[in-house]
Structure 1
Protein backbone atom coordinates (compact mmCIF):
# COMPACT_ATOMS: atom_id res chain seq x y z
CA UNK A 1 0.00 0.00 0.00
CA UNK A 2 2.90 2.35 0.69
CA UNK A 3 4.29 1.72 -2.78
CA UNK A 4 1.87 4.13 -4.47
CA UNK A 5 2.97 6.97 -2.17
CA UNK A 6 6.52 6.79 -3.47
CA UNK A 7 5.25 7.59 -6.97
CA UNK A 8 2.92 10.37 -5.82
CA UNK A 9 2.87 13.44 -8.02
CA UNK A 10 1.88 15.69 -5.15
CA UNK A 11 2.53 15.24 -1.42
CA UNK A 12 -0.56 13.84 0.33
CA UNK A 13 -0.54 16.71 2.85
CA UNK A 14 -1.01 19.28 0.07
CA UNK A 15 -4.01 17.40 -1.29
CA UNK A 16 -5.46 16.90 2.21
CA UNK A 17 -5.22 20.65 2.86
CA UNK A 18 -7.37 21.27 -0.21
CA UNK A 19 -10.28 19.19 1.06
CA UNK A 20 -13.01 21.26 2.72
CA UNK A 21 -16.18 20.41 4.62
CA UNK A 22 -19.06 22.23 2.90
CA UNK A 23 -22.75 21.33 3.24
CA UNK A 24 -21.72 18.41 5.40
CA UNK A 25 -19.63 16.86 2.62
CA UNK A 26 -15.92 16.61 2.03
CA UNK A 27 -15.23 18.47 -1.21
CA UNK A 28 -12.45 19.94 -3.33
CA UNK A 29 -12.87 23.26 -5.12
CA UNK A 30 -12.48 23.68 -8.86
CA UNK A 31 -9.49 26.07 -8.76
CA UNK A 32 -7.53 23.71 -6.47
CA UNK A 33 -8.26 20.78 -8.78
CA UNK A 34 -7.24 22.88 -11.79
CA UNK A 35 -3.88 23.60 -10.13
CA UNK A 36 -3.37 19.91 -9.34
CA UNK A 37 -4.33 18.85 -12.87
CA UNK A 38 -2.25 21.68 -14.36
CA UNK A 39 -5.14 23.08 -16.39
CA UNK A 40 -6.84 26.46 -16.29
CA UNK A 41 -9.83 26.76 -13.99
CA UNK A 42 -11.80 28.15 -16.91
CA UNK A 43 -11.02 25.03 -18.98
CA UNK A 44 -11.99 22.70 -16.14
CA UNK A 45 -15.32 24.50 -15.59
CA UNK A 46 -15.97 24.51 -19.32
CA UNK A 47 -15.40 20.73 -19.52
CA UNK A 48 -17.74 20.19 -16.58
CA UNK A 49 -20.48 22.36 -18.12
CA UNK A 50 -20.19 20.44 -21.41
CA UNK A 51 -20.65 17.18 -19.49
CA UNK A 52 -23.05 18.43 -16.84
CA UNK A 53 -25.14 15.22 -16.92
CA UNK A 54 -22.15 13.37 -15.45
CA UNK A 55 -22.24 15.61 -12.37
CA UNK A 56 -25.45 15.27 -10.35
CA UNK A 57 -25.85 17.28 -7.13
CA UNK A 58 -24.16 14.60 -5.00
CA UNK A 59 -21.07 14.69 -7.28
CA UNK A 60 -20.73 18.46 -7.71
CA UNK A 61 -22.44 21.68 -6.71
CA UNK A 62 -21.73 25.36 -7.09
CA UNK A 63 -21.13 27.33 -3.90
CA UNK A 64 -23.56 30.09 -3.01
CA UNK A 65 -22.18 33.60 -2.52
CA UNK A 66 -22.60 33.18 1.26
CA UNK A 67 -20.74 29.83 1.32
CA UNK A 68 -17.97 31.26 -0.84
CA UNK A 69 -17.62 34.27 1.47
CA UNK A 70 -17.31 31.89 4.46
CA UNK A 71 -14.58 29.89 2.69
CA UNK A 72 -12.70 33.11 1.86
CA UNK A 73 -13.01 34.25 5.48
CA UNK A 74 -11.78 30.94 6.94
CA UNK A 75 -9.01 30.11 4.46
CA UNK A 76 -6.08 32.45 4.09
CA UNK A 77 -4.15 30.29 1.61
CA UNK A 78 -6.53 30.60 -1.34
CA UNK A 79 -5.08 31.77 -4.66
CA UNK A 80 -5.61 35.50 -5.20
CA UNK A 81 -7.30 35.12 -8.59
CA UNK A 82 -9.80 32.64 -7.07
CA UNK A 83 -10.95 35.08 -4.39
CA UNK A 84 -11.99 37.75 -6.84
CA UNK A 85 -13.49 35.64 -9.64
CA UNK A 86 -16.80 36.64 -11.18
CA UNK A 87 -18.50 33.33 -10.33
CA UNK A 88 -18.43 31.10 -7.29
CA UNK A 89 -16.43 27.87 -7.53
CA UNK A 90 -17.68 24.36 -8.11
CA UNK A 91 -17.26 21.94 -5.21
CA UNK A 92 -16.56 18.32 -6.16
CA UNK A 93 -17.25 15.39 -3.84
CA UNK A 94 -15.15 12.24 -3.98
CA UNK A 95 -17.44 10.83 -6.69
CA UNK A 96 -17.22 14.11 -8.62
CA UNK A 97 -13.45 14.03 -8.53
CA UNK A 98 -13.55 10.46 -9.85
CA UNK A 99 -15.90 11.58 -12.63
CA UNK A 100 -13.49 14.37 -13.60
CA UNK A 101 -10.98 11.78 -14.80
CA UNK A 102 -13.49 10.68 -17.44
CA UNK A 103 -13.78 14.16 -18.95
CA UNK A 104 -10.17 15.32 -18.54
CA UNK A 105 -8.20 13.15 -20.91
CA UNK A 106 -4.67 13.73 -19.72
CA UNK A 107 -2.33 11.28 -18.06
CA UNK A 108 -1.70 13.80 -15.27
CA UNK A 109 -5.44 14.14 -14.56
CA UNK A 110 -5.77 10.37 -14.29
CA UNK A 111 -2.71 10.03 -12.00
CA UNK A 112 -3.76 12.92 -9.78
CA UNK A 113 -7.31 11.54 -9.59
CA UNK A 114 -6.04 8.17 -8.44
CA UNK A 115 -4.00 9.88 -5.74
CA UNK A 116 -6.94 12.05 -4.62
CA UNK A 117 -9.30 9.05 -4.43
CA UNK A 118 -6.73 7.20 -2.31
CA UNK A 119 -6.51 10.18 0.03
CA UNK A 120 -10.31 10.42 0.34
CA UNK A 121 -10.35 6.70 1.18
CA UNK A 122 -7.57 7.13 3.74
CA UNK A 123 -9.47 10.01 5.36
CA UNK A 124 -12.66 7.94 5.51
CA UNK A 125 -10.76 5.12 7.22
CA UNK A 126 -9.26 7.60 9.70
CA UNK A 127 -12.74 8.90 10.53
CA UNK A 128 -13.97 5.34 11.03
CA UNK A 129 -11.04 4.63 13.35
CA UNK A 130 -11.73 7.83 15.30
CA UNK A 131 -15.39 6.87 15.67
CA UNK A 132 -14.41 3.43 16.95
CA UNK A 133 -12.01 4.99 19.46
CA UNK A 134 -14.76 7.34 20.67
CA UNK A 135 -17.11 4.38 21.17
CA UNK A 136 -14.43 2.51 23.15
CA UNK A 137 -13.84 5.58 25.31
CA UNK A 138 -17.59 5.78 26.03
CA UNK A 139 -17.60 2.10 27.05
CA UNK A 140 -14.67 2.71 29.39
CA UNK A 141 -16.42 5.76 30.87
CA UNK A 142 -19.50 3.64 31.53
CA UNK A 143 -17.42 0.98 33.24
CA UNK A 144 -15.62 3.62 35.31
CA UNK A 145 -18.95 5.10 36.39
CA UNK A 146 -20.06 1.64 37.55
CA UNK A 147 -16.75 1.11 39.33
CA UNK A 148 -17.15 4.45 41.09
CA UNK A 149 -20.56 3.34 42.36
CA UNK A 150 -19.17 -0.02 43.45
CA UNK A 151 -16.27 1.67 45.24
CA UNK A 152 -18.71 3.95 47.07
CA UNK A 153 -20.61 0.89 48.32
CA UNK A 154 -17.36 -0.79 49.46
CA UNK A 155 -16.28 2.35 51.33
CA UNK A 156 -19.73 2.65 52.91
CA UNK A 157 -19.47 -0.90 54.25
CA UNK A 158 -15.92 -0.27 55.46
CA UNK A 159 -17.10 2.86 57.30
CA UNK A 160 -19.89 0.84 58.96
CA UNK A 161 -17.39 -1.81 60.07
CA UNK A 162 -15.08 0.84 61.47
CA UNK A 163 -17.98 2.42 63.38
CA UNK A 164 -18.86 -0.94 64.91
CA UNK A 165 -15.24 -1.49 65.86
CA UNK A 166 -14.94 1.94 67.52
CA UNK A 167 -17.97 1.40 69.79
CA UNK A 168 -16.99 0.23 73.29
CA UNK A 169 -17.76 -3.42 73.81
CA UNK A 170 -19.79 -4.43 76.85
CA UNK A 171 -18.07 -6.93 79.07
CA UNK A 172 -18.78 -10.52 78.24
CA UNK A 173 -20.71 -12.63 80.64
CA UNK A 174 -18.68 -15.59 81.78
CA UNK A 175 -20.16 -18.96 81.24
CA UNK A 176 -19.16 -22.08 83.06
CA UNK A 177 -17.15 -22.79 86.26
CA UNK A 178 -14.15 -20.54 86.48
CA UNK A 179 -12.49 -19.02 89.43
CA UNK A 180 -12.85 -15.23 89.70
CA UNK A 181 -9.17 -14.58 90.13
CA UNK A 182 -8.25 -15.64 86.62
Structure 2
Protein backbone atom coordinates (compact mmCIF):
# COMPACT_ATOMS: atom_id res chain seq x y z
CA UNK A 1 0.00 0.00 0.00
CA UNK A 2 1.56 3.30 -1.14
CA UNK A 3 1.45 6.41 0.98
CA UNK A 4 0.34 9.79 -0.30
CA UNK A 5 3.13 11.94 -1.76
CA UNK A 6 4.19 14.88 0.36
CA UNK A 7 2.30 18.05 -0.41
CA UNK A 8 3.83 21.37 -1.31
CA UNK A 9 2.74 22.62 2.11
CA UNK A 10 5.29 20.30 3.72
CA UNK A 11 8.65 22.02 3.13
CA UNK A 12 11.35 19.66 1.98
CA UNK A 13 14.08 21.87 3.47
CA UNK A 14 12.87 20.94 6.95
CA UNK A 15 13.46 17.26 6.21
CA UNK A 16 17.12 17.71 5.31
CA UNK A 17 19.37 16.76 8.22
CA UNK A 18 23.07 17.18 8.84
CA UNK A 19 24.70 13.86 9.76
CA UNK A 20 28.42 13.03 9.57
CA UNK A 21 29.05 16.42 8.03
CA UNK A 22 26.71 15.73 5.11
CA UNK A 23 23.21 16.95 4.36
CA UNK A 24 20.96 13.90 4.09
CA UNK A 25 17.33 12.79 4.12
CA UNK A 26 15.79 9.83 5.93
CA UNK A 27 14.43 6.89 3.96
CA UNK A 28 11.01 7.29 5.58
CA UNK A 29 10.80 10.96 4.56
CA UNK A 30 11.84 10.13 1.00
CA UNK A 31 9.29 7.32 0.85
CA UNK A 32 6.55 9.76 1.86
CA UNK A 33 7.69 12.27 -0.76
CA UNK A 34 7.96 9.63 -3.51
CA UNK A 35 4.58 8.16 -2.62
CA UNK A 36 5.83 4.67 -1.69
CA UNK A 37 6.23 2.81 1.59
CA UNK A 38 9.56 2.78 3.39
CA UNK A 39 9.70 -0.98 2.81
CA UNK A 40 9.29 -0.53 -0.95
CA UNK A 41 11.98 2.12 -0.99
CA UNK A 42 14.42 -0.04 0.99
CA UNK A 43 13.63 -3.04 -1.22
CA UNK A 44 14.50 -1.00 -4.33
CA UNK A 45 17.69 0.07 -2.58
CA UNK A 46 18.68 -3.54 -1.85
CA UNK A 47 17.93 -4.65 -5.42
CA UNK A 48 20.19 -1.88 -6.76
CA UNK A 49 22.84 -1.74 -4.03
CA UNK A 50 25.67 -1.19 -6.56
CA UNK A 51 24.12 2.19 -7.47
CA UNK A 52 24.39 3.46 -3.89
CA UNK A 53 28.01 3.80 -2.71
CA UNK A 54 28.61 5.04 0.83
CA UNK A 55 28.73 8.67 -0.29
CA UNK A 56 25.19 8.32 -1.76
CA UNK A 57 23.48 6.39 1.06
CA UNK A 58 24.41 4.86 4.41
CA UNK A 59 22.79 3.29 7.46
CA UNK A 60 22.77 5.31 10.67
CA UNK A 61 24.57 3.98 13.72
CA UNK A 62 22.57 3.24 16.87
CA UNK A 63 23.98 6.41 18.47
CA UNK A 64 23.00 8.59 15.49
CA UNK A 65 19.54 7.02 15.49
CA UNK A 66 19.18 7.65 19.25
CA UNK A 67 20.20 11.28 18.70
CA UNK A 68 17.51 11.69 16.03
CA UNK A 69 14.89 10.21 18.34
CA UNK A 70 15.96 12.51 21.19
CA UNK A 71 15.73 15.52 18.86
CA UNK A 72 12.17 14.44 17.93
CA UNK A 73 13.11 13.96 14.29
CA UNK A 74 11.91 10.36 14.46
CA UNK A 75 9.01 9.02 16.50
CA UNK A 76 10.02 6.79 19.38
CA UNK A 77 6.59 5.24 19.90
CA UNK A 78 5.88 1.51 19.67
CA UNK A 79 5.15 0.38 16.15
CA UNK A 80 7.93 2.59 14.80
CA UNK A 81 11.15 1.44 13.19
CA UNK A 82 12.61 -1.92 13.95
CA UNK A 83 15.76 -1.40 11.90
CA UNK A 84 18.25 1.42 11.66
CA UNK A 85 17.22 3.89 8.94
CA UNK A 86 19.01 4.59 5.70
CA UNK A 87 19.87 8.17 4.87
CA UNK A 88 20.51 9.54 1.39
CA UNK A 89 22.71 12.41 0.25
CA UNK A 90 21.69 14.68 -2.61
CA UNK A 91 23.26 12.28 -5.12
CA UNK A 92 21.57 9.32 -3.47
CA UNK A 93 18.20 11.06 -3.78
CA UNK A 94 18.69 11.48 -7.54
CA UNK A 95 19.81 7.86 -7.91
CA UNK A 96 16.84 6.69 -5.86
CA UNK A 97 14.46 8.52 -8.20
CA UNK A 98 16.02 6.74 -11.18
CA UNK A 99 15.67 3.36 -9.43
CA UNK A 100 12.01 3.99 -8.55
CA UNK A 101 11.42 5.49 -12.04
CA UNK A 102 7.89 6.67 -11.43
CA UNK A 103 6.64 10.09 -12.55
CA UNK A 104 6.01 11.00 -8.91
CA UNK A 105 9.57 10.01 -7.96
CA UNK A 106 11.09 12.05 -10.79
CA UNK A 107 9.00 15.12 -9.96
CA UNK A 108 9.80 14.80 -6.25
CA UNK A 109 13.48 14.32 -7.05
CA UNK A 110 13.59 17.67 -8.85
CA UNK A 111 11.99 19.37 -5.82
CA UNK A 112 14.44 17.71 -3.44
CA UNK A 113 17.48 18.69 -5.52
CA UNK A 114 16.19 22.28 -5.56
CA UNK A 115 15.86 22.14 -1.77
CA UNK A 116 19.46 20.93 -1.46
CA UNK A 117 20.59 23.74 -3.78
CA UNK A 118 18.69 26.31 -1.70
CA UNK A 119 20.35 25.04 1.47
CA UNK A 120 23.78 25.22 -0.21
CA UNK A 121 23.10 28.86 -1.22
CA UNK A 122 21.95 29.72 2.30
CA UNK A 123 25.08 28.13 3.74
CA UNK A 124 27.25 30.19 1.38
CA UNK A 125 25.38 33.33 2.41
CA UNK A 126 25.91 32.49 6.09
CA UNK A 127 29.63 32.00 5.44
CA UNK A 128 29.87 35.42 3.77
CA UNK A 129 27.98 37.07 6.64
CA UNK A 130 30.18 35.33 9.21
CA UNK A 131 33.27 36.66 7.42
CA UNK A 132 31.89 40.20 7.38
CA UNK A 133 30.98 40.01 11.08
CA UNK A 134 34.48 38.81 11.88
CA UNK A 135 36.00 41.73 9.94
CA UNK A 136 33.75 44.22 11.76
CA UNK A 137 34.67 42.65 15.10
CA UNK A 138 38.39 43.00 14.33
CA UNK A 139 37.89 46.62 13.31
CA UNK A 140 35.97 47.31 16.54
CA UNK A 141 38.75 45.75 18.59
CA UNK A 142 41.18 48.17 16.92
CA UNK A 143 38.83 51.07 17.58
CA UNK A 144 38.51 50.05 21.23
CA UNK A 145 42.25 50.27 21.78
CA UNK A 146 42.43 53.62 19.94
CA UNK A 147 39.56 55.00 22.05
CA UNK A 148 41.28 53.79 25.23
CA UNK A 149 44.47 55.62 24.16
CA UNK A 150 42.43 58.76 23.44
CA UNK A 151 40.81 58.63 26.89
CA UNK A 152 44.21 58.18 28.53
CA UNK A 153 45.49 61.28 26.70
CA UNK A 154 42.39 63.27 27.71
CA UNK A 155 42.77 62.22 31.33
CA UNK A 156 46.37 63.43 31.18
CA UNK A 157 45.22 66.82 29.88
CA UNK A 158 42.39 67.13 32.39
CA UNK A 159 44.47 66.18 35.40
CA UNK A 160 45.60 69.10 37.51
CA UNK A 161 49.33 69.62 37.25
CA UNK A 162 51.26 68.86 40.38
CA UNK A 163 52.08 71.98 42.39
CA UNK A 164 55.77 72.39 43.01
CA UNK A 165 56.70 71.54 46.54
CA UNK A 166 58.14 74.17 48.77
CA UNK A 167 61.73 73.44 49.43
CA UNK A 168 62.80 73.13 53.02
CA UNK A 169 66.13 74.44 54.25
CA UNK A 170 68.68 76.95 52.99
CA UNK A 171 69.05 77.03 49.23
CA UNK A 172 71.08 79.37 47.14
CA UNK A 173 69.06 80.56 44.27
CA UNK A 174 70.61 80.73 40.87
CA UNK A 175 69.66 84.41 40.39
CA UNK A 176 71.14 85.44 43.71
CA UNK A 177 74.35 83.66 42.85
CA UNK A 178 74.51 85.32 39.44
CA UNK A 179 73.96 88.77 41.00
CA UNK A 180 76.65 88.13 43.53
CA UNK A 181 79.02 87.00 40.82
CA UNK A 182 78.19 90.08 38.70
CA UNK A 183 78.76 92.39 41.67
CA UNK A 184 82.18 90.86 42.29
CA UNK A 185 83.22 91.33 38.69
CA UNK A 186 82.26 95.02 38.74
CA UNK A 187 84.54 95.77 41.61
TM-score, normalisation: structure 2: 0.76
Structure 1, unmatched stretches of 5+, are 1-8, 171-182
Supply the distance in 2 between the matched residues of 1:98 and 1:89 (Cα, whole angstroms). Answer: 18
- Report 1:61-72 matches (<5 A): 61-72=58-69
Query: Which is further off, 87-96 or 13-22?
Result: 13-22
1:167 to 2:153 alignment? no
After superposition, the Cα gap between the structure-2 partners of 1:79 and 1:97, relative to the gap in structure 1 and judged at 3 Å, is farther
Hey, what does 2:104 align to over in structure 1?
108
1:134 to 2:135 alignment? no
Supply the distance in 1 between the matched residues of 2:139 and 2:27 (Cα, whole angstroms). Answer: 48
Task: Point out 4+ residue stretches in structure 1 off by more than 6 angstroms.
Answer: none
Task: Tell me, yes or no, if the aligned pair for 1:12 and 1:119 is still in contact at 8 Å.
Answer: no
Structure 2, unmatched stretches of 5+, are 1-5, 165-187
Supply the distance in 1 between the matched residues of 2:67 and 2:153 (Cα, whole angstroms). Answer: 60
Supply the distance in 2 between the matched residues of 1:30 and 1:129 (Cα, whole angstroms). Answer: 29
Residue number among 36, 52, 56 corresponding to 1:55 in the alignment: 52
After superposition, the Cα gap between the structure-2 partners of 1:62 and 1:96, relative to the gap in structure 1 and judged at 3 Å, is same
Larger radius of gyration: 2
Hey, what does 1:30 align to over in structure 2?
27
Supply the distance in 1 between the matched residues of 2:95 and 2:152 (Cα, whole angstroms). Answer: 66
Residue number among 18, 22, 27 corresponding to 1:21 in the alignment: 18
Query: Which is further off, 12-21 or 134-143?
Result: 12-21
Supply the distance in 1 between the matched residues of 2:94 and 2:108 (Cα, whole angstroms). Answer: 10
TM-score, normalisation: structure 1: 0.78
